[in-house]
Structure 1
Amino acid sequence: MCGIFGWVVEAAKHQDRNTLIRLTDLMAHRGPDGSGYQLQETADKRFQIGFGHRRLSIIDIGGGAQPMSSEDGRFTLIFNGEIYNYVELRQELVALGHRFRTNSDTEVLIEAYRAWQLDAVRRLRGMFGFALWDEAEQRVILARDAFGKKPLFLAELPGVLLFGSEIEPLVQFPGFHRAFDSEALGHYLLNRYVPGPSTFFRAVKKLQPGHYAVWQGGTLKTTRYFTPPFATTAPDVKSFEDAVRLFEGTFDEAVRIRMRSDAPFGAYLSGGVDSSAVVATMVRHSREPIRTFSVGFREAEYSELDHARVVAGQFGTRHNELVVEPDAFLEHWSTAVLRRGAPVSEASDIPIFMLSEMASRSVKMVLTGEGADELMGGYPKHRAEQWIGLYQWLMPKLLHDRLIHPLVRSMPYGMRRVKILALAAGERDPVNRMRVWFGGLSVGESEAMLGRRLSAMPPDLFPYSSEIESSLRRTLFFDQTSWLPDNLLERGDRMMMAGSIEGRMPFMDTVLAGVVARFPDEFLTGGKGGKTVLRAAMDKILPPEILRRKKVGFRVPVGEWFRGPYRAFLKDMLASETSSVARLVSGLKLRRLVTEHLDGRQNHERVLWSLMNLEMFLRTFRIAT
C-alpha cells in the first residue's frame, strides 16, 4: 500500500528532481516507510517521464522498494495496492520461465505484464493503481483495479499528463490552474458526492474503476477491461444450500489470501454481521489472536461498541476501542478534506481516519467488512426496490405528486428514513431514484438552491446502463459502479491511508462477486435484514444477537452536534460573510435549511453536512469560484 505520483511532459516543460520529490512527498502519510524517485526521457527526447513513490512496507519489506525496474531494464513500475494472488501468479510465471529477484507482488506485476501485456490486469485479484513504463514500446500504462478500491487521478494539460493516488500533488504542479467545475457542484448536491470521472477540479479526472489507459507518443487512450458480474452473469444456482456452500468456500479464500503480510495486521470490527464475519474467518487462519479495532461515541444510540465487544470476546481478539469526542472530530475534519481532495461525503469518514491513526501504532494493515451490503443486498433500499414497481403501478404519478409528496415533505424531524423511502417510491426516473436513496437534494431543489438550470445527466452513464430486468440487480450494479468507488471505497482508501493504514476488503473480491452474481434475488434479500446467504453461512459461527439485530449503519451524531457544540461553527461556515458556499447557492434557501435544523423542525443533517464540507473544501484548496 503506497502513494504514487508522476508525469509525462513535453521536453520544453521538463521539471527537476526536487519538484518530483516535493510533490510525491505530499503523500508521505500514504508511505511513511520509504520513498523513491526517477526521471528519464523517451528515446526521441520529446518527453520527460517522472515517477515518484511513497511506500508502506507490507510485502517483502526488504526487497520491494519502488520505482522497481525489471532485471533487463525494459519495465519500470510504481504501484499502489496489493495483488493478493501474487503467490499463485508467481508460480505460473516461473513455470513459463520467468525469473525473480525479490519476493514482492510488485515484481510479479512487472513479469505478469511481460507475459500477458495489457491482458495481465484481468488476472490480478487485488486492488491497485499503477503506472508502468515500457521502454521497448515507449509507452506508459496506467491502470486501476476492477472495483476502484485504489484511486488514480489524471490531469491532461497542454503538453503535460499528470497522474497520482491523490489530488493534492496534481494541483500543486507548477502552472496548474485550480479552475472550479461548476457542473460538478450540481452533481454533488444531487448525489452528496461527485460521480466519476469528474472531480471539483475542471482539469482533474478519475481513471474509472476497471479501466486502463495507455499513453504513447503524446496520446492517451482509455479502455474498460472489467464489468461487474451482475451485468454479465445470469442466476444459475438453484439450491440455497449450494449457494451457501459456494459462498463459504470463496469467502474463506478471499479472507485467507488477504491475510498475506510480512507486517503486523488486524481488523476493523463494528459489531455488525459483515465485519464480524471477516473476523470469524480470520481466526480460522491465524495461530495468534487477531487484533481488532472499534470506534464509537458517547451517544449510545450511535455507538456499536457493545456489539463489537461481544464478537471480540467470542473470538478472543486483542481488542482496542476509540471513543470519538466532538472536539477531536473537529480537529481532524480539515485534514480529512485535504486527504480526500474533495468534500467528505460521509461523516463516518472522520472516525475511520481517527481509528486508523490509533491502529497504525500497532499494525500496518487491517481487513474490513466494506462492500458486503453492495455485493449481497444488505440495505433497506435493496428490499424496497423489489416492490417499487408495484407501488408505481397502483399509485398514479399525479396522485403521488399531489397527495403523497407534500405529505412526506412535511413529516417531522425524526422521520428522515421514512421520507427517503416514500420519495424514492414515487420517483419514476431510475437515475434520480438512485440519488434519492442517498438523501441528497432533488433536481428541483438543487436548481432552486443554485438559482439555475442544471444538467442532471451523470458524467458517466455506465452505472445506469445495465439492461438487467431485476430492479434489485440494477440497483446493486449501480452501487458497485458509482456509490462504492466514488464514495465508500474512496473513504476506505483516503481515510485509512491518511492514518498510514492499509485496508483490505474481502467482500470486494472479484471471484466472490462472480459467485454471488449467480445467486437468484431471493437468496440475497429473501430474509429479514437482507444478505440471506451471508447470514446463513454465519448462523452457527456468530452470536445470535449479532446475526439478528437491526442494521444500524455507521452513523455519527452530527445532527445533534450541529444543534449543540457545532452550532457556532455551522453558522460561520454557511451563514457568515466569509462563506463561499453562501455565494454559490441561494442565501434564502440556505438560511431556511439552517434555521429549520437548528430549531428541530426538520432533519437536514445530510444536506448541511454536504454544504459544510463543500465550504471546508473550498477553503482548504483555496479555489476561486
Structure 2
Amino acid sequence: MCGIAGFVWPGHAPLPPESTRLGWLAAMTGTLAHRGPDGEGLVLEGPAALGHRRLSIIDLAAGSQPMEDPTGRVVVTFNGEIYNYRELKARYAARGFKFRTNSDTEAILAAWLLDGPAGLDDLEGMFAFALWDKATHTLFAARDRFGKKPFYYTLQDGVLAFASELSSLRQLPFLRLQTPVSALMRFAAYEYVPTPETIYRDVYKLKPGHSLLFRDGRLTTAAYWDMPLPGPEPEASEEELCDRLRLLLAQAVKRRLVADVPLGVFLSGGIDSSTVAALTAGMVSRIKTFSIGFSEASYDESRYARLVASRFATDHHERILSADACGSLLPEIVARFDEPMADPSIVPTYLLSQVTRENVTVALGGDGPDELFYGYEYFPAFNLAAGYDRLPPFLRRRVIEPLAGLLPHSAGYINPRFVADTFLAGAAAPPWLRVQTWLSAFTAEAQAPLWRHPAPGLLAPENLFAPTRDLFEAYPAADPLARVGYAFARQYMLDYILVKVDRCSMMHSLEVRAPFLDRDVAEFICRLPSRYKLRGAKRKYLLKKAVAGLLPKEILGRGKRGFLIPVASWLRGQLRPQVDALLGEKHLREQGLFDPKEVGRLVAEHVGGAADHRKKLWTLLVLQLWLDHHKPDIIP
C-alpha cells in the first residue's frame, strides 16, 4: 500500500528546469507520506515525472519505487498489491522476462512489456498504477476492478497530472482547482461526490476496472473488466454451490495472506468479518483480530467479536471507547479527507485502524458481501416498495400515509417516523431512483430551498441523480434487483465504503485487503440469480448457508447493524458548538452558499425534537468542516 503521484508535460511546451519539476513532484509525494512512511522515490524521464511513497509490505529490501524494468524502457509507480504475482512471474519468466526482485511490482512491468493493455486481465489484486513507456512516449494507468485503490487525474493545458489523493494535485501551482456549486449539490444528494466526478471541476476519478492511456496529448480511458450479468438457474445443487463458494473464499483469503510484515483481521462480529476471521484462523496459527467497542451498552456490540475470537482462539485486541466522546474527533478526521464524505462511521473506522496499526501493518476486512449478496435492508425494501406501489391509490394516500405520519420521532439508532417517511419517499420514485432516494441526505425537492444560487438544471431529479440512472441503465440485467446491486457496488460501495476504509486506514499507514472482492469470488456471486442472494426477506442467503457450519449460531442470526453512531445526539450535544458556528446565520450569510432561514429551520426542528434531521444536518456539517479547512475556490 502506497501513494503515487506524477505528471506528464506537453510535448509542445518547453520543459521547466529539472529542479523545478523535482520540487513539484516532491511536494506532491510529501502530502502522501501517511500512505507510505517507509520510503520516497522521485523519477524524471523526459516529459514524465513519477513519484512514490512506500509502505513496505513485500520484498522490503528491493521493492522500492518508481521501478524500472531490466531494459530501462518502462518505469512504474504502483499502489496496492498483486496477489498472484508469484504465478505471474513464473509464467512471464518462461516467456523470457528477466526479473531482478521478489516484488509484485515487477509483474506489472512484465505484463505491460509482454502483453500491453491486455496484460491487465492477468493481474489479481487491488491496485492503482501509472507507468511511463519511454519507447512510445506513453503513460498508461489502471485501477483495480472494484476501485479499492484511488486514482485521481486531470488534463489541463496539455499537462496530465495524477495522484492517489486530491491533496497531492493541490501542490501543482499551474493547475486550476475550482469547486463548482454543482459538485456541492451532488455531495448534498449522495453524501459523497460520485465517480467519475470529484469536488473539483475538470478533475476526475478513474472508474474501477478501467485503464487510462495518454499519448501525443490525447487522453483515452477504456474498460477492461465489469461485473458479469446474472446467468440462468445453475445446474448445481445449493449444497454444491455452497461448497464452491467456501472453496473460492478460502482461496481468496489465502491469496491475501502473502506479506513480509505482520498481518491481522478486522473483526466486528458480523457474518462477513467473522467468515474472514474463521477462514484465516484455519490457515494461520494464532491470528490477530481487532475490534472497537463502546462503553454505552446500546451502541456496543463487541461481545459478538469476542465470541468469534474465542471460537477460533485468536489473539484478540479490542478498545472500548465512549460513543459520545468520539464525536469530538470528527473535525480532525474530516479535515484530513481529500474530498468530503459524510459516512458517520468514519470515526470508529479511523479508531479501529489506529488500534490495528499498533500491532500489524496489514489487515483483512469483510467489505463486499452487503453489495454483492444483497445484505442491506434496501434490497428487500426495493421489492416491498414494488408491491406497495401496486396497492390502490386510495389505500396508500388515505390510510397508510396518514398512519405513518402519526409515528413518533426518536433520537436512537432506529427512528420509526424517519424510516416510514423515507420508505414512502422511495416507493414513490421510479425504480432507478428508489434506493438512492432512501440513501440521499437531500433529494432534489429538499435541495430546492437550501441553496441561495443553485446550479441551473440540477434540481431536476433526473439531472441531480444522473450518475445513478446511468449505472442502472448501463447494466442490461433483466432483473431490476440485479441492476440495484450493480449500482450499489459501482457507486455506494465504491465512493462511500471503500473510500472510507482506504482513507481511514491509510491515515495510519495500514493496508486493508478485502477477500470478498476477489475476482473469482465476485464473478461467481454476480452470475447467480437474485434468489441466491435474497430469498424472501432473508439477505445473503447462500453466504449464510455456506458458512452455517463454520460460525457460531449467534453470529448467523444477527441482523445487519454496522457501526452504531449516535449522530442525532451528537448534533444536540458535543457537536452543537460546531453546528452553531458553521450552520449559524452569521457564517452562512458571509459564505453565501446556503439559505440561513432553511438551515436554521432544520437545526431548530432537530434540536427541539420536532423532527429528525440527523442525516441532513450531518451532511451539511461535514461539508462545512471540509470547506472551512480546505477553503476551495467556489464557482457557479
Q: Quick check: 2:328–2:575 contact (8 Å CA) kept in 1?
A: no
Q: Which amino acid aligns with 1:107?
A: E
TM-score with structure 1 length normalisation?
A: 0.94
Distance of aligned partners of 1:601 and 1:331 in 2 relative to their CA distance in 1, 3 Å threshold: closer
Contact 1:80–1:129, Cα closer than 8 Å, also in 2:
yes
Query: Which stretches in structure 1 are left out of the alignment for 5+ residues?
Result: 42-47
SS of 1:27's equivalent in the other structure is coil
Please give the alpha-carbon distance, in whole angstroms, between the structure 2 residues aligned to 1:330 and 1:9: 44
Give distance in 2, aligned partners of 1:542 and 1:214: 46
CA pair 578-102 structure 1, distance change in 2 beyond 3 A: same
* Counterpart secondary structure, 2:520: helix
CA–CA distance in structure 1, aligned partners of residues 560 and 111 of structure 2: 42
> Aligned to 1:35, which of 26, 32, 40?
40
Match of 1:300 among 289, 297, 320: 297
**Deviation of 1:141 (Å):** 0.3
Contact 2:296–2:322, Cα closer than 8 Å, also in 1: no
- Aligned partner of 2:204 in structure 1 is 205
Deviation at 1:549, TM superposition (A): 1.9
Shift of 1:431: 3.5
Match of 1:513 among 500, 522, 534: 522
Displacement of 1:527 in angstroms is: 6.2
User: How far apart are residue 584 of structure 1 and its match?
Assistant: 1.6
How far is 1:402 from its partner?
7.5
Give the aligned residue type for 2:254. Answer: R
Note closer, same or farther for the CA distance 1:509–1:12 as it changes in structure 2 (3 Å cut). Answer: same
Name the structure 1 match of 2:422: 420
Report the CA distance between 1:556 and its aligned residue: 1.3
Instruction: Check 1:529–1:597 CA distance in 2 against 1; reply closer, same or farther (3 A cut).
Output: farther
Q: Is contact 1:236-1:518 (8 Å) kept? A: no
Higher mean alpha-carbon deviation, 71-80 vs 118-127, is at 118-127
> Is the CA contact (8 Å cut-off) linking 1:152 and 1:207 kept in structure 2?
yes
Aligned-partner Cα distance in 1 for 2:596–2:327 = 25
1:357 — aligned with what?
A: 354
Greater mean alpha carbon deviation, residues 294-303 or residues 573-582 = 573-582
Q: 1:23 aligns with which of 28, 40, 49?
A: 28
Q: Which amino acid aligns with 1:382?
A: F
CA contact under 8 A between 2:70 and 2:98: conserved in structure 1? no
Matched, 1:289 2:286: yes
In structure 1, what residue type is equivalent to 2:21? D
| 1:233 CA displacement | 4.3
- TM-score when normalising by structure 2: 0.92
Q: In structure 2, do the counterparts of structure 1 residues 389 and 7 end up closer, same or farther at CA, with 3 Å as the change threshold?
A: same
Q: 1:478 matched to which residue of 2?
A: 487
Partner of 2:412: none
Q: Which residue of 2 aligns with 1:436?
A: 437
**2:403 pairs with 1:394:** no
Deviation at 1:371, TM superposition (A): 1.2
Instruction: Work out the CA distance in 2 between the residues paired with 1:399 and 1:50.
Output: 65
Matched, 1:378 2:375: yes
- SS of 2:199's partner is coil
Contact residue 370 and residue 507 of structure 1 kept, 8 A: yes
Per-residue CA deviation, residues 459-504 of structure 1 (Å, 9 max, x unaligned), is: 4754222232212211111111111111111111111111110010
Q: Which residue of 2 aligns with 1:319?
A: 316
Greater mean alpha carbon deviation, residues 12-21 or residues 178-187? 12-21
Partners of 1:128 and 1:23 in 2: CA distance: 19
2:239 aligns with one of 238, 241, 254: 241
The partner residue of 1:596 within 582, 592, 605 is 605
Cα distance in 2 for partners of 1:215, 1:365 equals 33
1:42-61 paired onto structure 2 within 5 Å = 48-61=47-60
User: 1:143 — aligned with what?
Assistant: 142
AA at the equivalent of 2:517: M
- 8 Å contact from structure 1 (residues 349, 495) kept in 2: yes
* Inter-partner Cα distance in structure 2 for 1:506 and 1:248: 12
Q: What SS class does the counterpart of residue 265 from structure 2 fall into?
A: strand
Q: Which amino acid aligns with 1:550?
A: G
Partner residue, 1:250:
248
Equivalent position of 2:130 in the other structure? 131
The 2-side partners of 1:181 and 1:419 are apart by 31
The amino acid across from 1:67 in the alignment is P
1:375-426 Cα deviation digits (max 9, x unpaired): 1111111122234323222244x87568755765674322133332232222
Contact 1:412 1:602 in 2 (8 A): no
- SS at 1:278 equivalent: helix
Q: Deviations over 1:243-301 (max 9, x none)?
A: 21111111110111011111001011101010000000001111x21111111322222
Q: Which residue does 2:306 correspond to in 1? A: 309
Task: Decide whether aligned partners of structure 1 residues 399 and 343 sit closer, same or farther in structure 2, where only a CA change above 3 A counts.
Answer: farther
Q: Which amino acid aligns with 1:2?
A: C
- CA gap 1:582/1:18 in 2 versus in 1, 3 angstroms: closer
- Structure 1 pair 410–208 and aligned structure 2 pair: CA distance change class (3 A): farther
Q: Deviations over 1:18-48 (max 9, x none)?
A: 221122111100001111001121xxxxxx2
Contact 2:44 2:50 in 1 (8 A): yes
Determine whether 1:98 maps to 2:100: no
Could you say what secondary structure the match of 2:136 adopts?
A: coil
2:532 is matched with which residue?
A: 523
Q: Name the aligned partner's letter for residue 519 of structure 1.
A: L
SS at match of 2:14: helix
Question: How many angstroms apart in 1 are the aligned matches of 2:276 and 2:422?
Answer: 31
**Amino acid paired to 2:379:** H
Letter in 1 for 2:59: D
Structure 1 residue 464 and structure 2 residue 472: aligned? yes
- Against the structure 1 CA distance between its residues 35 and 571, is the aligned structure 2 distance closer, same or farther, given a 3 Å change threshold? same
Please state if 1:348 is matched with 2:350. Answer: no
- Candidates 478, 490, 502, aligned match of 1:493: 502
Q: How many residues align?
A: 615
For residue 370 of structure 1, give the secondary structure of its aligned residue in structure 2: coil
1:12 counterpart = 2:10: no
AA paired with 2:299? Y
1:92-119: CA deviation from partner (whole Å, max 9, x where unpaired): 2122222211111100111111121101
- Distance in 1 (CA, whole Å) between partners of 2:186 and 2:590 is 15
Shift of 1:318: 1.2
Report the secondary structure of 1:309's partner residue.
Answer: helix
Counterpart residue number, 2:262: 264
Residue of structure 2 in register with 1:617 after alignment: 626
| Separation of aligned partners in 1, 2:405 and 2:175 | 44
Change (3 A) 1:576 1:323: farther
Match of 2:584 in 1: 575
